[in-house]
Amino acid sequence: MKIISVVGARPNFMKIAPFVHAVEAYNRQSGREKIEHILVHTGQHYDDRMSKVFFESLGIPEADIHLNVGSGSHAQQVGNTMMAFEKVIQEEQPDWVVVVGDVNATLACSVTAKKEHIKVCHIEAGLRSGDMDMPEEINRLVTDRLSDLLLTPDLLSTENLRHEGVAEEKIRFVGNVMIDTLEAHREKAEAMQIETILQENLLDPSQKLPGHIGEYSVLTMHRPSNVDKKEVLEPIVNFLLDEVCEKELLIWPIHPRTRKQLERFGLWEKVSKHSGIILLHPVNYHEMLKLNMSATSMLTDSGGLQEECCVLGTPCLTLRWNTERPITLKEHGGASTLVGNNVAAIREAYQKVSKTVRKPQRPELWDGKAAKRCLEALLEYTPQ
């Protein structure tokens, strides 16, 4: 069997790592016909801190093929990826293309593969936010509509697919591969020192840090709906500076897109000069895990962090009005509250956080063994 797996952007790397390791483990068992595995990196994320460091720290082998598509509008990114990936497909003629998550690479490569009559397996299928303004929602819908094998992280996602009329035999509930990565790296992250993480990632290396970091919250924000409009971003930034930094330190590993927008809106000076904020470069996987483990709260618009907070029990204020991961919400036993991007709602939830006790949760099959089940599902697949 020949499989091409695709990655493009940062959140893909934690998802593909355990799958690649599952293929390697399968191939190590003697007496079996080996799986030929080719890893393709589309190049959507290209900065070392957004890409290379994850390959190194998660033990992902160097990609076999780089498409180098880089940044651009959605149409440019998807179009360039499709043109480059089509050549790969035609040359390699794989049995399967495996795509993960919901980024532009996921959409572009699933469409290209299907048009070349190659079977597509989607890991993390069935997530739905219902919000068609999110580029990721479009990516999820198209990818799932085309996929031959849809591997879901939770039963709510399985239900979404059934509701959309996906044939039962195409769907397999396998659990969450993100949690495979979390469990594999938890111990290493635990042993790290917060102070060292901060020192090594400071955006301004001359910033003086307190000798001991006491209470802090972590912020990550990069969604276009939060950072692309000044009238949305500015009040959030003011709330963070005036109210959060009054109570505790705010650690902010900043996404390149967000930094660009803060500069564009004339907000960068104010943020970068504030002594209560510790601005960091994008941090690596273990560093983020450690920061998350010890934080008072996580303020984020990331999907992956919502899941990690759920398992670690970190109170998570999700800076969105909806989520494709409802299983991480408090009403489903998780740690996350949807607070949107309205300051009054964020404030109200933030004020409750100090009274919240950490309550780690483990949704069904978030057990660190999901990738093995993904590979089994693929090997057991029989076309209908």
| Catalytic residue IDs | 222
Query: Which among 184, 132, 168, 142 has a CA at the least distance from the CA of 20?
Result: 184
Residue 146 within binding range of ligand UD1, rule CB under 6 A: no
| 225/162 Cα distance (integer angstroms) | 29
Exposed / middle / buried, residue 175 (Cβ in 10 Å: 0-12, 13-18, 19+): buried
Residue 45 interacting with ligand UD1 (CB under 6 A): yes
Based on the shown chain and the rule CB under 6 A, indicate whether residue 257 belongs to the binding site for ligand UD1: yes
Assess 46 for contact with ligand UD1 (CB under 6 A): yes
**Is residue 304 helix, strand or coil?**
helix
Q: How far is the CB of 300 from ligand UD1 (least distance, A)?
A: 11
Taking CB under 6 A as the rule, does residue 381 contact ligand UD1?
no
Residue placing its CB nearer to ligand UD1 in the complex, 9 or 179: 9
Nearest Cα residue to 293 out of 284, 301, 280, 305 = 305
Q: What is the Cα–Cα distance from 152 to 352, expressed in whole angstroms?
A: 33
Span interacting with ligand UD1, options 38-46, 59-67, 92-100, 169-177, rule CB under 6 A: 38-46
Among 103, 171, 289, 353, the residue binding ligand UD1 under the rule CB under 6 A is 103
4 forms beta bridges with 38, 97
Contact 255, 25 (CB under 8 A): no
Stretch that binds ligand UD1, among 41-49, 120-128, 179-187, 237-245 (CB under 6 A): 41-49
The answer to the question of residue 268 lying near ligand UD1 (CB under 6 A) is no
Q: Single out the residue of 79, 135, 235, 276 in contact with ligand UD1 (rule: CB under 6 A).
A: 135
**Least gap, CB of 358 to ligand UD1 (angstroms):** 25
Residue number, 46 or 321, with CB nearest to ligand UD1: 46
Taking the complex as a whole, how short is the minimal distance between the CB of residue 223 and ligand UD1, in angstroms? 7
Q: Residue 9: which of 103, 135, 89 has the closest Cα?
A: 103
> Count of residues binding ligand UD1 (CB under 6 A)?
18
Alpha helices in 174-312 (DSSP H): 177-190, 194-201, 224-227, 230-239, 245-247, 256-264, 268-273, 285-294, 303-312
Stretch in the footprint of ligand UD1 (CB under 6 A) among 118-126, 171-179, 254-262, 346-354:
254-262
Q: How far is CA 356 from the centre of its chain?
A: 25
- For ligand UD1, the binding residues (CB under 6 A) are 9-11, 44-47, 50, 71, 103-104, 135-136, 222, 255-257, 260
